[in-house]
A and B are shown apart, each in its own frame.
Chain A
């Protein structure tokens, strides 16, 4: 239903889903300028579950927004497979998000006037090969709450609906900005489990920002941000099951 665009469809042989090269982001100008990112270069392998850590204000969200196509870098390049995201027009960036990207935010961001199912449908309607909203809700264990409005769901349930909504389109990448930030540890673990399942069963790459350092244990790769730069990149040889994480 939508015109196809030249964002490559298949995983590149190199195996990275994103390549960031010297990405900087400056908010504002002159004396008021804030350097949120100062030359970030990264390589994120296809299908990995990546956890981004770092102190508040270190640029994690900014980075996520740029690779997620919500925002533009001031300088540098971001490659999604073979496509240079920094060179895309607004319309193509929209298309990129529409076809490849799922988002989960700290504050669920459900539309209050739509039921759980309708919130998911919002995305499946414009996706190309989505699962049904029921399937997606089943995936997060909320099949029974389909017709409930956000105000009738707990925080954790709302977040799971948000995840269902993000994964229903079978995204290539799933971006999660502090998805457990507003949840208690136990509920948070439930959410993490869902994310792990999505990563493993759907094969989607997951980029997960969190303040709970313990979460790093479930990742393939852990990237630490500090003052707008990448402080370190670690690869976990063995991953821990979310149920063993607590904070």
Chain B
């Protein structure tokens, strides 16, 4: 009779089976962490690879330089710049689309179509139909997701206002573009297929429409190998400055690509921040389980050694136990991560428009997952395993001295007088093992912290929405003009029936500099005390916008390394292109972007081109919305119209569809941790007390009383853990907010009481469920057996 498994391995398997509940709980905690890792790292890899392949195939440009109007012959000079492989001039403009079944005007971008025959940049990925015939003036290719959202197809035609003139254009094809992988309207939090429109038309036709015959208003470049991006951008700015250049930028400032990069950045942060927390909790659980196990098996260990098993063999036995659990968890995590990855790839595809996006985790992701988990688990139990391995057999043979309760009795005598016998046992249990109690408390606290953290995401988003839409921007509609307009336009808007209030804004592109730090952005001129679109401080009080200094948003202060009072240089990239030095007069809170505010009159004086406005914020009568929209559609100077409610709805929709689905998964994860910790602690308490409990039962205590003794201790620890975990969760949330904030979004640290409440309930319910599971074991306690086995 030869076994395939050695008796020690059989022991291992039976031990695993015996504590299967605990082992499973730990495995799930590991699996949750690894699933997050595999999902985020795999998704990161997929995005990177997809992006690379897509950009390469569509010849995505390396740099972009918008100008007002530059003659075509300049392209030759640009083409000859060192490091430039290809330069292309194109026309980019705004349009308003009027769809019969949509009352509000839809703002669209319009671009000259890349000519596929020639070696063009930013090629379109035609999904259906064909590209435009350059000899035809009325053909367009439409951005596919927009077309889908409105049921538009090749063969249909749409009414478009181009540079003030309305025309009917024929859709000949639907396309995706590397420039619009993430297509978002300026000022919006989220992309919205039905409102983000882009179309392409023939170079000649669009040139005529925008009075750009023989000229272009944007250069796109491909770099040669080893090109220096800053040098090229500087050279471009120099060459194009006389033609109204607002500043050349590379791919990393291209809006769609920027969002993509930040998404990838967040994924990579997610991959390194969250999984270790899960792993740490799992290692902690493994440690208490193993320590307990080794303690009860002291004599067995001594025996093995007495019979000639070596230190290494004994240590390896316990290490294998830990490995079995962690590898089980790792395998589960890898599978879960794949499933999660597939799911999230689906979510990503709703927001990132690649022609294809397939989740594929690299083999190295799995190797890393498994290696790191095993290493962490083994490292975490090194001490316990070492202790087992080096236990002297003679010592192991002697049963440990009975636990000493004499001291605790003294400390607690005062309190104990008022409580009954079972409560005394609970109290003494806590005091006798303060370290164990503290660590268990911390473990439950970790579950609480995670539960809080999982809620933080949602709170932050809700807060961002509220602040942005209810406090900072309280307008209903905003319009942007094709070009800065005389402020008479404000009066014109005010005259529309149903418009309550109109506020002007002047936005001008600037390069801001302070020392060596710089930021290419824009400066916003507003009324000193605007009521619709306001600058607010961190306490959400509105800030008086001054004419003797600028108000900068906090992250901008940070980026430019500024302190209040410092001088900032603004190089205006518009009109006469003046350079203005202004002191920082205040700091503003911001949710999106990096705004800088200045009083509109002072800004206009500094720019020296008269009292102009570039956009307007309006408050309107909701009942007269449709008529107002119709009037706006007819105003030739308007390039775009944004509806606040729609931005908000789009954001809400994105949250519900994207991160929203993950909320449930995260909540599940925090439940797993809470159950893992509480259940494990309760099981261990049960194992330690089996004999005591049996004795009590023999003495006539009821099952309920026995369970109370066992679970009372955990109940106390769970309650203690709630505030600890709550604070820990707040700290972790602050850390994550900081780590995940970008130039595009600033994530505020907000946690509602509601969230603490939900987290508390999550932990308490998990604890109660664990308690019930263990209570079941207490009920099944075999008195004779419990008293017979020496534990």
Contacts and interface: CB of A to CB of B under 8 A. Distances in A.
Contact of B303 (A91, A103, A150): A103
A4 B574 CA distance: 90
Contact of B3 (A68, A109, A121): A121
Nearest to A149: B14
A126 B394 contact: no
Interface string A97-119: 11101110101010111100011
A125 B303 CA distance: 15
A101 B305 CA distance: 11
B785 interface: yes
Interface stretch (B5-13, B563-571, B699-707, B720-728): B5-13
A65 interface: yes
Contacts of B789: 112, 150-151
A70 interface: yes
A93 to B, nearest CB: 9
A105 B394 contact: no
B1 A132 contact: yes
B1 A125 contact: no
A237 interface: no
A122 interface: yes
Contact of A98 (B18, B303, B308, B392): B308
A234 interface: no
Contacts of B10: 113-114, 118
Contacts of B1: 132-134
Contacts of A103: 303, 306-307
A131 to B, nearest CB: 13
B17 to A, nearest CB: 9
B304 interface: yes
Contact of B306 (A68, A119, A132): A68
Interface residues of A, number: 38
B interface, over-half SS: helix
A122 B18 contact: no
B300 A109 contact: yes
A97 B308 contact: yes
A119 B300 CA distance: 11
Contacts of B311: 90, 94
A75 interface: no
Nearest to B18: A113
Most buried by A among B14, B18, B302, B790: B14
Contact of B300 (A99, A111, A121): A111
A49 interface: no
Contacts of B300: 109, 111
B299 interface: yes
Nearest to A64: B394
A107 B299 contact: yes
Contacts of B788: 151
Contacts of A96: 308
Interface in B289-316: 299-300, 302-311
A71 B392 contact: yes
Contact of A94 (B299, B302, B303, B308): B308
A105 B306 CA distance: 11
A195 interface: no
B10 to A, nearest CB: 6
A52 interface: no
A218 interface: no
A94 B305 contact: yes
A169 B300 CA distance: 18
Most buried by A among B7, B299, B310, B788: B7
8 contacts: A65-B393, A70-B394, A101-B306, A111-B300, A113-B15, A121-B7, A122-B304, A151-B789
Interface of B: 1, 3, 6-8, 10-11, 14-15, 18, 299-300, 302-311, 392-394, 397, 399, 785, 788-790
Interface of A: 65, 68, 70-71, 90-91, 94-99, 101-103, 105, 107, 109, 111-114, 118-119, 121-123, 125-127, 132-134, 150-151, 165-166, 169
